[in-house]
Structure 1
Amino acid sequence: MCFLGWVISPYTGWTREHWAALADRLLLAARRHASPSHARVSFPGAPGGYGPDVDALEGFARTFLAAGFRVAGEAGHDPLGLMEWYAGGIAAGTDPHHPDRWVRLDEHGQAKVEAASIALVLHLTRPWLWDRLPPRVQEQVVDYLAPAVGADYPPINWVWFQIVVEQFLASVGGPYAQEDIDAGLALAESFERADGWYADGSERAYDHYAGWALHFYPLLWSEMAGRAPDPRYLARLERFLDDAVHLVGADGSPLIQGRSLAYRFAAATPFWVGARAGVGSPGLLRRAASGIVRHFAERGAPDEDGLLTLGWHGPYRGIAQDYSGPGSPYWAAKGLFGLALPADHPVWTAVEEPLPVETGDFTRVVRAPGWLVSGTRADGVVRVVNHGTDHSHEGSDLADAPLYARLGYSTATFPLLTGDPLDQSVAVLDEKGRASHRTGFTAGPVRALPSGTLTGSSRWRAHWGGQGPGPDHGYSRAGAGMRHGPEVEVVSLVRGAWEVRLTRLIGQPHRLRMGGWPSPEGGPATRVHGGPGLSEAGTEVAATPLGERTLVPWCATPGAAEPGRWYAAALLLGDGDQPPVIDDRKVTWPDGTIDDLPETVTLSGLSK
């Protein structure tokens, strides 16, 4: 098997057998933490923000995803007795009089999320589970799911949870409202953005939910409804995947950006969706998916007990949002969706193809989230310079969410999760040295120059303050008492491992600071070279899930920056001994390429 693995999987060595073994390990380990009825799977660890009853339901529903994919892809072959084991849990969980009964959809909103996973797997495994349930249990399941009908769901990816549950109810003769489904589909359409991307709601909310939710459910719902997928879904998915494969590092790390990162290899989900839908190259899709899951499997997730903890590689509680509990990381099971495809499917038999970052250096504009993407083959790192995403909207004037509003994210760095902006920031410092925020910025255009260099910009009014009250869901919360400062304009030019960052203040003079990449000690090199006027420099040390010693270089003006004057710095993540040379009108890159500065920028004086 080892030799065959490297023949068809020359980049990862992983075959379907590796995936199946991982799923089985996760499922058998979960059984050790189940109640006698199997309805509650309570993993060790401090309760999540929604309490132990929700945690136990998550533990059941999310591992049920892995079990369903495993059995569906084997056409019902089930040597571990997964369907029988989970059938027992369903019987107890949906029984309103059983001591292990589940939290209902009309008791806690999180049950609406988990109900969708349960309904989805009941559909995928119908001949081997639903059809064999006693009529009484079938009635209990319908009664448990029925509160979805006519209920309110947040206008984000949750809309698909209602659609999926009601479509399943319709398929088994239960109550449903076609108007709910139709309204949900229309709302989901409003999330569409450029080049096959979806935003998670009306805000500039771009993250892994685009792939593991907003591209996942449309195709599965189509199957549940017994209809061919809408050609628009397929076209969007194919275009999105063309961007998505560029956001995976050579070591398999997905882009470290956005909330719910404890779901880890759920990031592989859209590649399997593409395979199931027949879009994209099977060998490339499996290379991306196997790279992601192998990345975590070789770095402590699951751990030596076969468990997924709240963290990235190992445990790291600081990564959790308020909705995260010990069962939450098992949303990672969505990344095992490929197991629902049989062993003879082309995605399992094709030879792996290299990721874009493995074929050569590349630059790429991703328009919807406003990202300038750069991959370098030498180190396999993919970087994103962000001029379009903050999980908010223009003019919102909120404190920055570290997982959305930073100017840069990569596959090798983790943003600092606490404190005022430092890493990958342009900050105005107040009289106490506190750094300003940029959420609510105006996004400028992002584009590629004829040379291949990328450029983008954004502009905002600097503001100081903290997150407002309420639960931490990974994005900004409105608060009172924001203080305002000068406007800040930033223009980026990106090529290879370097970014040239141009900044000016418009308004009152303040001290200006530019922060670089937060690279873990022993990781890629990170440097900031400040140009004229940015004569102060230093390196801060902080902890992130990638290392207790994460280095963040910065440069700053020694006093107040001159309003209207452009300041320039070169920022590095990776290899690069010689920084770009920046003069009055042009940038000369280490590879000899010369790019003109934007017409609005003159470094020797004020802007035109």
Structure 2
Amino acid sequence: MTREHYIELAKYMLTRAFKYVDSIETPLTFPIIPGKTYPQPNAPNWRYRSAEFEALERTFTLAGPLIHVDPEVEINNIKLRDYYKLHFYRTFTPGNSNSLPLPENLPDSNYQFTCEFGGLFKTLLLLPDTVWSLYSESEKNDMLECITKWAHHRTTQNNWRIFNIVTLSFLKKHGYPIDDDLLKSHLLWVASYHSGDGWYLEQTYNYYSISLFIVYTTIWNRTFGDDYYPEIGSIIEESAKKLMKCITSFFGRNGYINMWSRSICYRTWVSGAFPVAFMLKEQTELDAGWARRLCSGSLLQFVSREEFFCNDVPSLGFYGQKEYMVQNYSCSGSPFLMFLPFICLALPEDSPFWTATENEGMWETLGEDSNKVVLKHPGLMLVNHGKTGTSEIIPGKVYYDDPNYSKLTYNTHFPWEDQNPLGGTSMEYSFRSQDPRDLRGDDVNFYLTGLTVDNDSEENQRYTTSQNMLFNGVENDILYRQAIMRRPPNNGVGYIIDLADITIPGGVIRVDRSRLAFEYELTLGHFGLPHLAGKKAEIKSFELNGNQIITAKIEGRQVALISYYGWDKLDCMTHNNRNAEADESSVIFAYKKRMQKNPPMELMITALLHKTDDTEWTTEELSPIKNFQINEISATMSPLGATIELNNEKKYEVDFKDIDGKKTC
């Protein structure tokens, strides 16, 4: 994709959006989607104002760069520059039907308005020539009270401070008075969240660390921070440079982005890191042709699919409208934040981002090997599989049971599925207690203390997934983590699965140790396969070299699960309304049930493989492990490990020595 292609794509997306605009006087609103997103029926008026502002501001993510490139650009015979100038003015001045309330007219709290102010003034800092320069001094003064009060208003923790920073900075840059101490305080708070490797803490580690903490703040740096806060700006600059060393590993060979973390409907907003790389002070090490290839590929992943659209605008989902994967803070206009990469149109035409020839970077020489990047500070491992063209995110620091974060692995070409209370959840260990105390609804400590806690016997009969994921480091090319299957007070140390990942081309060898203290059932699911066009996945079960194998296949994608040790059987389930691509899907999984009152620790050895073609599995592919040996006591005096020898002659010693003392979260 060239610069002209980006311009045409922006026009195409806005043409679909502006079908809801009859004339320059018509506010931009999109149909409300029933479900958990806002505004809900009978919501207060300010929620409708918020949704209108969000649609206006987030479509400006496309319109602003277009106006910068061509001030006369029109969509559906409406001049964009005049349209947005008029409606931002009406939004920020009292007396209009869609003007925003002031903070003092609402209960003292944080509101979505703050987020949208940050998005707008980030764009206006970068591209002030789009609309701000068109206002008269009188018009600017009319808007000033609203902008100033929201800029100074209460914010929420970490990433939201960036929205206040951007808005306050815009005001100061244009000569309006602000609370300088408040601005500096927000800046110091944001800088304090840097955790290492270019990553920032944001509830748990996620894409916000890239899109807000790097993209927004780099724009702030170039347009304001360099002149006013150079020392704090240097912190941001250094973290951005570190991030650029790993950013390409988040994307598949064809540019696909991974469905991971919350705010899934923002999709490609992380691709905004690619043009930002060419806004840094020092020349980036990032290959410009590869950067544009990945940026372009991530956009084409969605805009080339008609099912991506709902009511002619990007749907509230990933590939299509899916209720389960969106948050209640989203509305119909929210997905337009995915077009953050269009800040690339702010780059000059002679920028390397535009002049370099697109290429596939590392993938051109990777062959069938797998490239790994370990980010120990956010507890992530990134894997690029040359054999399949897919990229994976393997998380290690997760604070709660949320499928946005808690999966064992996230793959660019096998989007995650929602959790299944019947077990067989994709890419998760699913646990169900068979402890009679749980089935009765007792507190496990009742007979010791006489005290009770709320223990729901019906809830205990459902399968649950890990409540926490802990990162324990990488040793001898093995990633160690822990899945905590229950929280206190019912946890103690009796609900732990110690995880060891050995990356192989097109998959992983799992050597995991169950430390589950009481009666239980357990499943380990593979990636889910959608039933596209109503066609079910093809499932095969068979034995090879004494090992049980189950495979699943749809056109262009396949998965295989091999059980080597520690499982009772392999099986498959059909899931409904859990997959990102289809209403029905198949998940193959391993299953075990242990009914001893005091089950022993056990190793579970499996291989989970994937393909992105239709070729038949070969015997060699389905035989990644040549030999394995269970070590009751390892050479380092640790209980229950294993020696794994692969068919490529590589040997691994899986050793959980002192794993509990190495946990980080």
Q: Same fold (TM over 0.5)?
A: yes
In the alignment, is the contact (CA less than 8 A) between 2:265 and 2:335 conserved in 1? yes
Match of 1:532 in 2: 565
In the alignment, residue 91 of structure 2 is paired with which amino acid?
G
Match of 1:371 in 2: 380
Match of 1:557 in 2: 592
Matches within 5 A, 1:558-577: 558-560=593-595, 562-574=599-611, 576-577=621-622
| More displaced 10-residue stretch of structure 1: 34-43 or 580-589 | 34-43
Structure 1: distance between partners of 2:139 and 2:8: 31
**For 2:506, which of 490, 497, 501 is the aligned residue?**
497
In the alignment, residue 59 of structure 2 is paired with which amino acid?
T
- Other structure's SS at 1:462 match: coil
CA drift of 1:127 comes to 3.6
Match of 1:31 in 2: 18
**For 1:591, which of 648, 662, 665 is the aligned residue?**
648
In the alignment, is the contact (CA less than 8 A) between 1:148 and 1:166 conserved in 2? no
In the alignment, residue 199 of structure 2 is paired with which amino acid?
W
Match of 1:407 in 2: 408
Match of 1:170 in 2: 172
Structure 2: distance between partners of 1:375 and 1:514: 23
Structure 1: distance between partners of 2:469 and 2:125: 44
Structure 2: distance between partners of 1:262 and 1:30: 16
In the alignment, is the contact (CA less than 8 A) between 1:206 and 1:389 conserved in 2? yes
Match of 1:472 in 2: none
Closer/same/farther in 2, CA of residues 113 and 301 from structure 1, 3 Å limit: farther
Closer/same/farther in 2, CA of residues 275 and 459 from structure 1, 3 Å limit: same
Structure 1: distance between partners of 2:607 and 2:350: 50
Task: Calculate percent identity across the aligned residue pairs.
Answer: 20
Compare CA radii of gyration and give the structure with the larger one: 2
In the alignment, is the contact (CA less than 8 A) between 2:625 and 2:645 conserved in 1? yes
Asked if 1:181 is matched to 2:202, the reply is: no
Structure 2: distance between partners of 1:514 and 1:507: 18
In the alignment, is the contact (CA less than 8 A) between 1:248 and 1:355 conserved in 2? no
Match of 1:11 in 2: none
Structure 2: distance between partners of 1:181 and 1:258: 29
- Other structure's SS at 1:44 match: coil
Matches within 5 A, 1:82-481: 82-104=80-102, 107=106, 109-200=111-202, 203=203, 205-225=204-224, 227=226, 230-277=233-280, 278-279=283-284, 280-300=286-306, 303=309, 307-360=313-366, 361=369, 362-386=371-395, 388-390=396-398, 392=399, 398=400, 400-420=401-421, 422-431=425-434, 434-447=462-475, 449=476, 453-460=477-484, 462-463=486-487
In the alignment, residue 427 of structure 2 is paired with which amino acid?
Q
Structure 1: distance between partners of 2:427 and 2:348: 44
- Unaligned regions of 5+ residues in structure 2, if any? 40-46, 435-459, 531-536, 538-553, 612-616, 631-641, 659-665
TM-score relative to the length of structure 1: 0.84
Closer/same/farther in 2, CA of residues 563 and 518 from structure 1, 3 Å limit: same
Asked if 1:52 is matched to 2:63, the reply is: no
In the alignment, residue 437 of structure 1 is paired with which amino acid?
T
Match of 1:63 in 2: 59
Structure 2: distance between partners of 1:525 and 1:579: 16
CA drift of 1:580 comes to 2.4
Closer/same/farther in 2, CA of residues 357 and 588 from structure 1, 3 Å limit: farther
CA drift of 1:353 comes to 2.7
Closer/same/farther in 2, CA of residues 545 and 511 from structure 1, 3 Å limit: closer
CA drift of 1:506 comes to 4.8
Closer/same/farther in 2, CA of residues 329 and 172 from structure 1, 3 Å limit: same
**For 1:519, which of 529, 537, 542 is the aligned residue?**
529
- Other structure's SS at 1:544 match: coil
Closer/same/farther in 2, CA of residues 63 and 152 from structure 1, 3 Å limit: same
Closer/same/farther in 2, CA of residues 219 and 532 from structure 1, 3 Å limit: closer
| More displaced 10-residue stretch of structure 1: 270-279 or 500-509 | 500-509
Closer/same/farther in 2, CA of residues 598 and 39 from structure 1, 3 Å limit: farther
| More displaced 10-residue stretch of structure 1: 149-158 or 484-493 | 484-493
User: Any idea what the Cα deviations from partners look like across 1:438-471, whole Å, max 9, x if unmatched?
Assistant: 2334431135x3xxx442222535359xxxxxxx
**For 2:6, which of 11, 19, 33 is the aligned residue?**
19
CA drift of 1:153 comes to 1.0
User: Any idea what the Cα deviations from partners look like across 1:218-267, whole Å, max 9, x if unmatched?
Assistant: 21112332626634323322221221201101232112111111112212
Structure 1: distance between partners of 2:64 and 2:10: 11
Structure 2: distance between partners of 1:219 and 1:164: 11
Structure 2: distance between partners of 1:482 and 1:15: 57
CA drift of 1:323 comes to 0.9
Match of 1:4 in 2: none
CA drift of 1:524 comes to 2.9
In the alignment, residue 24 of structure 1 is paired with which amino acid?
K
In the alignment, is the contact (CA less than 8 A) between 1:517 and 1:572 conserved in 2? no
Closer/same/farther in 2, CA of residues 590 and 156 from structure 1, 3 Å limit: farther
Structure 1: distance between partners of 2:364 and 2:461: 42
- Other structure's SS at 1:113 match: helix
Closer/same/farther in 2, CA of residues 316 and 503 from structure 1, 3 Å limit: same
| More displaced 10-residue stretch of structure 1: 165-174 or 298-307 | 298-307
Match of 1:474 in 2: none
Closer/same/farther in 2, CA of residues 303 and 599 from structure 1, 3 Å limit: closer
In the alignment, is the contact (CA less than 8 A) between 1:39 and 1:102 conserved in 2? no
Structure 1: distance between partners of 2:461 and 2:604: 19
CA drift of 1:77 comes to 6.0
CA drift of 1:355 comes to 4.0
Closer/same/farther in 2, CA of residues 590 and 550 from structure 1, 3 Å limit: farther
- Other structure's SS at 1:568 match: strand
In the alignment, residue 623 of structure 2 is paired with which amino acid?
Q
In the alignment, is the contact (CA less than 8 A) between 2:390 and 2:411 conserved in 1? yes
In the alignment, is the contact (CA less than 8 A) between 2:72 and 2:81 conserved in 1? no
Structure 1: distance between partners of 2:521 and 2:310: 49
Closer/same/farther in 2, CA of residues 552 and 356 from structure 1, 3 Å limit: farther
In the alignment, is the contact (CA less than 8 A) between 2:526 and 2:559 conserved in 1? yes
Closer/same/farther in 2, CA of residues 135 and 404 from structure 1, 3 Å limit: same
In the alignment, is the contact (CA less than 8 A) between 1:159 and 1:184 conserved in 2? yes
Closer/same/farther in 2, CA of residues 588 and 129 from structure 1, 3 Å limit: same
Aligned residue-pair number: 556
- Other structure's SS at 1:215 match: helix
Closer/same/farther in 2, CA of residues 276 and 73 from structure 1, 3 Å limit: farther
CA drift of 1:357 comes to 4.0
In the alignment, is the contact (CA less than 8 A) between 2:566 and 2:602 conserved in 1? no
- Other structure's SS at 1:566 match: strand
| More displaced 10-residue stretch of structure 1: 345-354 or 21-30 | 21-30
CA drift of 1:304 comes to 9.0
